[in-house]
Amino acid sequence: MSNILNLKCDLKSFYEKKLLFDFIKKNKNKYIKSNTKKVGYPLLNKGDFPENKQNGMKRLSLKVMKNLVDMDNLPPHITPDKIPEIYIDFTDYPDDKNSKYGKVHINIKKNETLINERKKNAENNKVIFNNIIVIFIDTLSRAHINRKLPKLKAWLEKFMKYDIKDYINYQFLKFHSLGVHTLLNLKPFIFGESVLSPKGINILKYMIKKGYITAQADNYCGTKPYQLRKSFDHSKVKFEYFDHELISLFCDPNFYIYKNPFNLNKGPSSILRRCLYGHDTFHYIFEYSKLFWRTYKGNRRYLRLASMDSHEGTGELISLMEHTLIEFLDDLYKNGDLKDTALFLFSDHGNHISPHLSLMPGEDVEIEKVMPFFFLLLPKKNDNYQNDLFLDEFYENLYKNQQSLVTTYDIHNTLIHIIFNESNLNKAPYSKEGNSLFNLINNKNRTCDNYPEIFEKQSPGTLTCNCIEF
């Protein structure tokens, strides 16, 4: 496996360009010609790419290919708010021998109209933190961070020491999966409801109402975490769109095989290094996120950064992302960009697709599958409050809650608490299934014996609570 990890992404290939243009021609794209130099990838956040149970990843990828545009000759339907933020330049520059094979450009333009709109929303809407970053890494247990991401673990744990004056980090040791599928955990995170419930308001809607400018970057061809579930009734739960997003690049046929989305050699479940136009796919989501954060500095911001790099059977590829993730976090920290920011880092579950783990059944394996990681990094000082004792109470509760049974319902409610600035459960749209982590959790009511219904609602008969002696 080490030989695979040592492969480089900087060996650009003529075949990437050829495959892309052959695929474009086959799918009868009417905007891209054989001599097009700059290929723009469409924004999916304008409602032009509706996804429902009849339109999953396969159809989305084909529609993206049909809607690629020539950046030098934009068609009339591409209004200023729909100009692609991602494009590939195939111009053959004499001083760059690899340029003709494609170079990805990221271009996020500051939207002044959007800024003014959100500033009006923010008026008289006091929040606990003006900035929120959610970093979600699919299929990564807390134990596997110890094995494969020791430097990341060390970077986060340095903020657990009391001699660090500016920030404090919490690790929730009993953070428990609600099921070994993404949907079972992200539906409660986003909507505060179980997958079996037809109810739920997307938390993004509240973010927008409270004045946050929003963005997501996800190296996965899809705008919804539940689009593959044909049984899910999308018509009953409204989807909200981010203001800015990086997704459609990863519908490119050089990364994504639309007939077989979870191919083991290419795509979001590949066991091989995931290269695209000279870089790892995760490179683009971090670069995009950094540019968004800088572009809207001084405004309320909500960023969702999601990675599929641990979603594969070997458990090895995630180590490739460690340096880039630490560099991203360190840049935010050193540049003061974590000030007034709540930073959530978590996963949905451990590795449930590994063939070698399935050959070694045992209690430890089953426990690790449902014990993902969850860190919460917060500033110790907050200009929104003159009385630090107010925050001290929150932080004391967070410290104690590290040893409580916690799920994505609680992450949802913590976000609600931040943006509504309201501890009273009756005065904000909290999920009935969880608690804000700023409030002390009653552990007597959170044990495997008296809390099983929360898991049964998610995946009847498929998961039991695995917090031993708890």
Answer whether 143's CB lies under 8 Å from 371's CB.
yes
Sheet with 341-346, edge to edge strand ranges: 167-171, 374-379, 341-346, 131-137, 301-307, 213-218, 244-246
Determine the pLDDT at residue 282.
97
Rounded CA separation 429/413 (Å): 8
User: Smallest Cα–Cα separation from 196: which of 187, 205, 209?
Assistant: 187
Top pLDDT among 203 and 223 is at 203
Helices and strands counted in the chain (H then E): 15, 13
Mean pLDDT across the chain: 85
Eight-state DSSP code of residue 95: T
107 pLDDT band, cuts 50/70/90, is very high
Tell me the C-alpha distance between 301 and 207, whole Å.
9
φ and ψ at 378, to 5 degrees?
Answer: -135, 150
* Pair of tokens at residue 339: 């000030």
Q: What is the pLDDT of residue 127?
A: 92
Strands 38-41 and 69-70: antiparallel
- For residue 180, name the pLDDT band (cuts at 50, 70, 90): confident
Higher-pLDDT residue of 194, 47: 194
Structure confidence at residue 438 (pLDDT): 94
Residue 247 pLDDT:
93
pLDDT at 138 over 80: yes
Q: How confident is the model over 432-455, as a mean pLDDT?
A: 80
Which domains does the chain show, CATH number per domain? 2-106 (no CATH), 112-456 (3.40.720.10)
pLDDT digits (tens, 9 = 90+) for 188-197: 999 998 877 7
Long-range Cβ pairs for the range 224-229 (8 Å, 24+)? 224/51, 225/182, 225/183, 225/186, 225/187, 225/190, 226/182, 226/183, 226/186, 226/187, 226/195, 227/51, 227/55, 227/56, 227/57, 227/60, 228/56, 228/57, 228/183, 229/53, 229/183, 229/195
- Per the structure block, which two tokens stand in for 423? 């501890």
Look at residue 53 in the predicted model and tell me its pLDDT: 44
The pLDDT tens digits for 362-397 are 777 778 888 999 999 999 877 766 555 567 888 899
432 has pLDDT over 80: yes
Is 215 in a helix, a strand, or coil? Answer: strand
pLDDT at 262 over 70: yes
Contact 408, 376 (CB under 8 A): no
How much is the average pLDDT of 104-110? 94
Provide the pLDDT for residue 44. Answer: 85
| 430 — pLDDT class (breaks 50, 70, 90) | very high
The mean per-residue pLDDT over the stretch 212-227 comes to 82
Q: Residues 322-377: pLDDT tens digits? A: 999 999 999 999 999 998 999 999 999 888 776 666 666 677 777 888 899 999 99
Instruction: With a cut of 50, say whether residue 54 has pLDDT above it.
Output: no
The pLDDT value recorded for residue 470 is: 53
pTM for this predicted structure? 0.92
- Cβ 256 vs Cβ 210: under 8 Å: no
Grade residue 162 by pLDDT with cuts at 50, 70 and 90: low
Would you state the structure tokens that stand for residue 429, as one six-digit string? Answer: 């749209």
At 283-293, the pLDDT tens digits run 999 999 999 99
Q: Any idea what DSSP says for residue 246?
A: E
pLDDT score for 391: 72
Q: Using DSSP bridges, classify how beta strands 301-307 and 213-218 pair: parallel, antiparallel or unpaired.
A: parallel
Mean per-residue pLDDT, 71-96: 88
Confidence check: pLDDT of 48 > 80: no
State residue 467's pLDDT score.
Answer: 66
Amino acid 464: pLDDT: 65
